[in-house]
Amino acid sequence: MSKFLLVLTTVFLSLTAFAQDGEKLFNANCKSCHAPTDKRVVGPGLAGVEGRWKDRALLYKWIKNNKEVLASGDSYANELYNTYNKSVMTIFPALTDKDIDGILKYVAEYKAPPDATPVATEAVGAGNTDSTFSTYTLVGLGLLFLMLMFVLINVRKTLAKVDATQTGETLPTEFEGTLGQKVSNWISHNKKVVAVGSLVIIGYLSVLGWNTLSGIGIYEGYQPDQPIKFSHKLHAGKNAVSCIYCHGSAERGKAAGVPSANVCMNCHKYIQEGPVYGKVEIAKIYAALDYNPDKQTYGNNPKPIKWIKVHNLPDHVYFNHAQHVVVGKVECQKCHGPVQEMDTIRQYSQLTMGWCINCHRETKVSMEGNGYYKELHDKLAVKYKGQNLTVSKIGGLECSKCHY
């Protein structure tokens, strides 16, 4: 029995690995020109491809050396060749028959992801304080103070009644009159309690006011929904696309820049369906460019994509991406956080003056092999011998460096 189970396990694992290899082989060799569905990309969709050939052996030969099949005069091969403007398909002589079987099995079992728009991510509000929470907290503290006051009034009144009953005296005037008069009398007879309670409320309001004012202009955690859902986790993380590929101006100028939709089309002219959002979000790129993916033609009515800016600095602050990325060799994640783990991009850092200054005080300048600092390095190497040369020591704390 144990041997039988071992055989079954081995077969199951082999089939699983075979299917996984088929997907990897398809992605590595076929995906740039073919879809696993009937959708045309550069070449025809591969769904049902086996049924379009006389036999599998001929299909093997077509993939490994299609010129030989065309030269043989095969009618379907030549029809395919003429339909696609006599473009010769790339040959894959290194693929074995087993490799091709794995690709065909993957195509035959492929199921497209649903065209469902995921639930929108709730945007995090700007600032460090939640005004609703603060209001509720303040009201709650006020109610708690009033309840405590009335409890103390009742306790004091009860004790006064007991004392008056035993001594035969009348109740003090502080317990007589209307509710307002009773409260006023109680306050006048309990000035220490009122003073302590007032100090607590004043202290709380002062802290609340300080936090509110100090949070003005700070948008740490700001995460707006974009008009097109772009997953950095998928592109920068899983697919390891370099930040500079899309934000190329980060190496050449002040702003990192928002990539144009044409940059997206470098890949998505061929990749028309994503693993997270299906076709929905990619279709928005086509709509913006007035692009027809079936005919692979552009129209005359393109529209701009209204991206929402996430990182904003005050107008009086100067920040140059090229100076930090190229000269300072600062990684993008230093300021923008682990973007490779974010589906929807958010502001990771405070981006305040104090935050920048602390970075300049702590960050060591890469002098070695950096021609930009060669002349400066010779002077500072003597001045700060044996010390770490941080940005602050090369003028990084001067006001005019960032404010103009």
* 112, pLDDT greater than 80: no
**279 occurs within a structural domain:** yes
Residue 176 CB contacts under 8 Å (≥ 6 apart), including other chains: 182, 185
Pull the structure tokens for residue 284. Answer: 């928005």
- What average pLDDT does the chain have? 81
Number of domains in the chain: 3
Same domain, 301 and 205: no
Q: What does the pLDDT look like over 80-93, one tens digit per residue?
A: 888 877 777 888 88
The larger pLDDT score, comparing residue 369 to residue 233, is at 233
Which segments of 168-272 does DSSP mark as H helices, in order? 179-189, 191-214, 232, 243-246, 261-268
User: What pLDDT does residue 95 have?
Assistant: 85
Kindly state whether residues 208 and 286 are assigned to the same domain. no
Which whole-number Å values give the CA distances from 256 to 119, 229, 323, 336, in the listed order? 29, 20, 11, 12
Q: Is residue 223 part of a domain?
A: no
As separate numbers, helices (DSSP H) first and strands (DSSP E) second, the chain gives 16, 2
Final residue belonging to a domain, choices 78, 109, 140? 109
Asked if residues 49 and 107 have their Cβ atoms less than 8 Å apart, the reply is: yes
pLDDT of residue 249: 92
| Within-domain flag for 184 | yes
What is the distance between the alpha carbons of residues 190 and 198, in angstroms, rounded to a whole number? 12
Residue 149 domain-assigned (yes or no): yes
- 300 shares its domain with 263: yes
Please, what's the b/e burial string for 42-77 (b: 16 or more CB within 10 A of its CB; e: otherwise)? ebbebbebeeebeeeeebbbbbbebeebbeeebeeb
**Strands 291-292 and 297-298, bridge-based pairing:** antiparallel
Domain span at residue 92? 17-109
Q: SS3 helix, strand, coil % of the chain, rounded to 5?
A: 55, 0, 40
Boundary-marking domain end, from 184, 214, 244: 214
Phi, psi angles (nearest 5°) of residue 73: 85, 15
- 205 lies in the same domain as 242: no
Please give the model's pTM, rounded to 2 decimal places: 0.57
Last residue of a domain, one of 74, 109, 144: 109
Q: Is the pLDDT of residue 309 over 70?
A: yes
